[in-house]
Amino acid sequence: MGVGPGSNDETLLSAVASALHTSSAPITGQVSAAVEKNPAVWLNTSQPLCKAFIVTDEDIRKQEERVQQVRKKLEEALMADILSRAADAEAMDLEMDSGDDA
Q: How confident is the model at residue 4 (pLDDT cuts 50, 70, 90)?
A: low
Tell me: do 96 and 83 sit in the same domain: yes
* CA–CA gap between residue 99 and residue 35 (Å, rounded): 77
Q: How confident is the model at residue 14 (pLDDT cuts 50, 70, 90)?
A: confident
pLDDT value for 82: 95
DSSP letter string over 22-78?
Answer: H--S----B--THHHH-TTS---TTS-SBB-----HHHHHHHHHHHHHHHHHHHHHH
Q: How many residues does the chain have?
A: 102
The pTM assigned to this predicted structure is 0.52
Residue 39 pLDDT greater than 70, yes or no: no
pLDDT value for 53: 77
Tell me: do 41 and 20 sit in the same domain: yes
Domain of residue 88 covers: 56-102
Largest separation between any pair of C-alpha atoms in the chain? 86
- Chain centroid to Cα 10, Å, comes to 15
Domain count, the chain: 2
Tell me: do 49 and 90 sit in the same domain: no
pLDDT digits (tens, 9 = 90+) for 50-102: 777 788 999 999 999 999 999 999 999 999 999 999 988 888 887 777 765 55
Higher-confidence residue of 6 and 97: namely 97
Tell me: do 37 and 72 sit in the same domain: no
Q: Which of 43, 50, 40, 41 is nearest to 18 (CA)?
A: 50
Tell me: do 6 and 47 sit in the same domain: yes
* CA–CA gap between residue 42 and residue 35 (Å, rounded): 8
pLDDT value for 98: 74
